[in-house]
């Protein structure tokens, strides 16, 4: 199993998230991490979506990427697994004051 990370710029239409997640579900992928946010303050109707999942068959996965790219509201999608990207994690700590 290899981890793959794809990012997609999507038109922030209602329902686009469930549409895309439906595609992952249909192809039986379990999503390990998903982050969606408005990425550019000047482009409020565009969201950036980053997905990490485990992939057995690279060929099948690239077909799925094509299916995602085909969606009308997806501006473009990139498989960034082997690219140089900055990964950030957010650690939330809840501190109790006694």
Binder among 5, 6, 10, 53 for other proteins (CB under 8 A)? 10
Scan residues 22-81 and list those touching other proteins (CB under 8 A): 22-23, 26, 59, 63, 66-67, 69-76
Q: Are 5 and 52 in contact (CB under 8 A)?
A: yes
Binder among 7, 12, 19, 52 for other proteins (CB under 8 A)? 19
**DSSP E strands: which ranges in 12-73?**
31-38, 46-55
With 0-12 / 13-18 / 19 or more C-beta atoms within 10 angstroms meaning exposed / middle / buried, residue 78 is middle
Q: Which residues bind other proteins (CB under 8 A)?
A: 10-11, 14-15, 18-19, 22-23, 26, 59, 63, 66-67, 69-76
């Amino acid at each position: 199993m290899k981890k793959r990370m794809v990012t997609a710029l999507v038109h922030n239409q209602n329902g686009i998230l469930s549409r895309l997640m439906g595609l992952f579900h249909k192809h039986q992928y379990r999503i390990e991490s998903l982050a969606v946010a408005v990425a550019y303050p000047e482009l409020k109707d565009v969201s950036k979506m980053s997905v990490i999942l485990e992939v057995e068959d690279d060929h099948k996965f690239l077909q799925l990427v094509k299916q995602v790219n085909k969606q009308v509201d997806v501006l473009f999608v990139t498989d960034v697994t082997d690219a140089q990207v900055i990964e950030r994690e957010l650690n939330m700590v809840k501190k109790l004051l006694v």
